[in-house]
Structure 1
Amino acid sequence: MRRLGLKCIPANILLSIMAFLLIFAGVLWDYLPYFVIQRMLPVSGALVLLLTVQWSRSQRQQEAEFANDICETVDALMDGRKTKCFHPYEDSEASKVQGKLLQYYDLMQEGQRQSEQDKQTIQELVSDISHQVKTPVANIRMFTGILQEHSLSCEKQAEFLATMAAQVDKLDFLMQSLIKMSRLETGTFAIHMEEGSLYNTIAEAVNSVWAKADQKHIRMEVECDSQIRVKHDAKWTSEALGNILDNAVKYTPEGGSVCVRVRPWHFYTRIDIEDTGIGIAKEHYHDVFQRFYRGGEKASSEGVGLGLYLARGIIMRQMGYISVKSEAGKGTVFSVFLLN
């Protein structure tokens, strides 16, 4: 499409001729014969009139072409096909408008893709929550029915009530984990990065699993210099490390060991959490950080499969990361890297 402006060749020629005649007449006005001036003025007027007509026609044609190009672009975008009349390297008004339309279209497409992805995520989340809630709710309903319909001894009643209480605790744990997950994914929880003692943070995490480890006679070891200080959120980092430690204790057999080692590096401080548990197959390294993932032997153990997912999210929001190295049947090492 031709550019809007005085770039129509016939109009430029007429304008140049008219300008030359007027300049010539003005300079030589006193020297030109009267009959020459008499003829030059009508010619100049005719050229101006012709130029006006030509300009008007050219403008209408270019405006029509501009409108057709824009309409073609809009129609192509509405139909989901590639526009044929777009020339991105052409310096014209039509190309500029088409470029903006295509940018807007790309933004709308990205928004639609994100909306579809969010919808799918919500559907998967609802399905996962439904699956997690179904078992404890079914157990509570079953034991309630037994207690209501049968005459049981006090010991049996106490046993059923204890089982129901355990199921309620499981539901409460699930709800608390879901709340944390929701806050993590929506970014509504605040990270307060402050330089502080990493030893104290690790001690708090270890204390959260000490009782479970003691019940299974699992030896807990910590190798951390009390002088190491790292810029981190102590509360959330303790939560993340506690989740990894809880996972280690949960899948380490009785009499095993869990060791926490801290090694300062130049840019990061590395925290290794090593256990002598059942291990993780290499093809599942990535899976263990997924929401609600519980595979193989883990599926029969307690938990909802959110601990490592939450741990990775918390560490990543502090500009750190987590890696895993494991050997099935021998143990696992989770390495947490915190930015110095």
Structure 2
Amino acid sequence: MKKAETWISGLLYGILGFFGAGMGYLIWLFVPIEEVRILMLVLDISLVAVCLARIWYEKYRAGKLTDNICESLDDLISGREVQRQQTFDDSLADKVQGKLLQYGNILQEDRKENRAEKQKLQEIISDISHQIKTPMANIRLFSNILKQENLSCGQREEFSHTLEFQVDKLEFLLQSLIKMSRLETGTFVLHMEGQNLYHTLVQAVQDVWQEAEKKNLKINLDCDLDIRAKYDEKWTLEAMENLLTNAVKYTPEGGNIQISVHPWQFYTRVDISDTGIGIAKEHYNDIFKRFYRAEEVAAKEGVGLGLYLAQMILNKQRGYITVKSKQGEGSTFSVYLLS
């Protein structure tokens, strides 16, 4: 390549030299007036000099462009930010440099996203490992106990029930983790359609009714039969069930759970209120974090994914969720769905 460039440059210089010499010879032969002849020879020499300077300048600019491109490519290969080099306005060099900068910015953003995704994946794996460790240890413990031959029938039955409970707990955890993974990676399709909100809420209440009866809780639903909103029925039902499950879990025996619906112009608000233990204001944001469990509820069953999943489901549907609470009096979670 270098030899080709040298050969082309030599050819251009030779052509110009031959052209300049030929013009000078013709001027010398056919221009009789000496003053005019000398002036034309000076112009001929000047023209040749200008052309040679132009060729040298274009060669210099091409070399500069090549160097800039190589430096930019080296930055891209090494992962460094592409530096803006000296460019020539409204020229090929400027256009190439601009495209390289644009491509470099895209690569930088992709690298940042990849690093963030890797960090997020590491956190998820760490959380999953931590959450699975306890039920797996319990299952292994009770399995070893059941292998003992000196257990009575009553003891064996008791440990079998405990083992079954731990297996159910692990299954629930794994199902929650699968849902979390699908929501975070976007490996699912939302079917956003106009739905009958009353039917969805009735189904959510039915799914928690048995647990509510065990604690003698009253669940009241205040919703017109024909109210409709735009949401994915399957995933929104999951979010509503998570909110109602928490209301049942953290409301003392004999308490009340109130569900009320308020249609607005752009959103439909669903309030789920309980007379439970309440939430401290400084923890309003914490309760929506993955695997968060407050100290006062650590003894109750759960993995800390219910509210996290509910918020993600609603955000994916361009809705959102808020909370108001007072410790010792209860909480109200407000779900906003597109009308």
TM tier relative to shorter chain: 0.7 to 0.9
Aligned to 1:53: 52
**Structure-1 separation of matches of 2:116 and 2:68:** 34
CA shift in 2, pair 1:145/1:64, >3 Å: same
Q: Where does residue 162 of structure 1 map in the other structure?
A: 161
Q: Is the partner of 1:35 in helix, strand or coil?
A: coil
Of all paired residues, the percent bearing the same amino acid is: 51
What does residue 330 of structure 2 align with?
Answer: 331
Moved more, 236-245 or 116-125: 116-125
CA distance in structure 2 between the partners assigned to 1:120 and 1:169 by the alignment: 30
Tell me which amino acid in the other structure corresponds to 2:298.
A
Equivalences for 1:114-133 in 2 at 5 Å? 114-133=113-132
- 1:234 match: 233
How far residue 112 of structure 1 moved from its aligned partner, in angstroms, is: 1.8
SS at match of 1:252: coil
Residues 181-238 of structure 1 show CA distances to partners (whole Å, capped at 9, x for unaligned) of 1111121222112222110000011111111111111111111011111222222211
Quote the offset at 1:66 in angstroms. 2.6
CA contact (8 A) 1:276 1:332 kept: yes
Q: 1:35 aligns with which of 13, 16, 32?
A: 32
Query: By how many angstroms is 1:101 displaced?
Result: 2.1
Correspondence list, 1:244-323, <5 A? 244-323=243-322
Cα displacement (A) at 1:71: 4.2
| CA distance in 1: counterparts of 2:231 and 2:75, whole angstroms | 51
Amino acid at match of 1:179: I
Summarize deviations over 1:32-82 as a string: whole Å, max 9, x none.
x96369948766654553343222122122223333444455566658477
Q: What TM-score do you get using the length of structure 1 for normalisation?
A: 0.83
Once residues 86 and 337 of structure 1 are traced to their aligned partners in structure 2, the CA distance between those partners, rounded to angstroms, is: 53
Supply the distance in 2 between the matched residues of 1:246 and 1:142 (Cα, whole angstroms).
29
**2:207 is the alignment partner of 1:211:** no
Q: How many residues align?
A: 308
What is the root-mean-square deviation of aligned Cα atoms in Å? 2.6
- C-alpha distance in 1 between matches for 2:161 and 2:79: 63
User: Match for residue 83 of structure 2?
Assistant: 83
Q: Is 1:143 aligned with 2:142?
A: yes
Instruction: Write out per-residue CA displacement over residues 276-327 of structure 1, whole angstroms, 9 at most, x where no aligned residue.
Output: 1111111211111111111222222111111111111111122111111111
Q: 1:220 to 1:103 in 2, by over 3 A?
A: same
Aligned-partner Cα distance in 2 for 1:279–1:105: 51
Q: SS in structure 1 opposite 2:253?
A: coil
Q: CA deviation at 1:86?
A: 4.5
Q: Is the 8 A contact 2:235 2:313 kept in 1?
A: yes
Determine the structure 1 residue equivalent to 2:99: 100
Report the Cα offset of residue 149 of structure 1.
2.0
Q: Compare 214-223 and 78-87 and name the one that shifted more.
A: 78-87
For 1:141 and 1:232, locate their aligned partners in 2 and report how far apart those are by CA, in whole Å: 42
The whole-number CA distance in structure 1 between the counterparts of 2:150 and 2:79 is 71
Confirm or deny: 8 A CA contact 2:176 2:305 kept in the other structure: yes
Shift of 1:257: 1.2
Displacement of 1:165: 0.5
Render the CA deviation track for 1:223-275: whole Å, top value 9, x for unaligned: 10111112222222111101110011111111111110001111111000001
Per-residue CA distance 1:142-171 (angstroms, 9 max, x = gap): 111111124111111111101100111011
Task: Rate the CA distance shift 1:79–1:316 in 2: closer, same or farther, 3 A.
Answer: closer
> Partners in 1 of 2:189 and 2:75 — Cα distance?
45
Q: 1:227 to 1:158 in 2, by over 3 A?
A: same
TM-score w.r.t. length of structure 2: 0.83
Q: Judge conservation of contact 1:73–1:86 (CA < 8 Å) in 2.
A: no
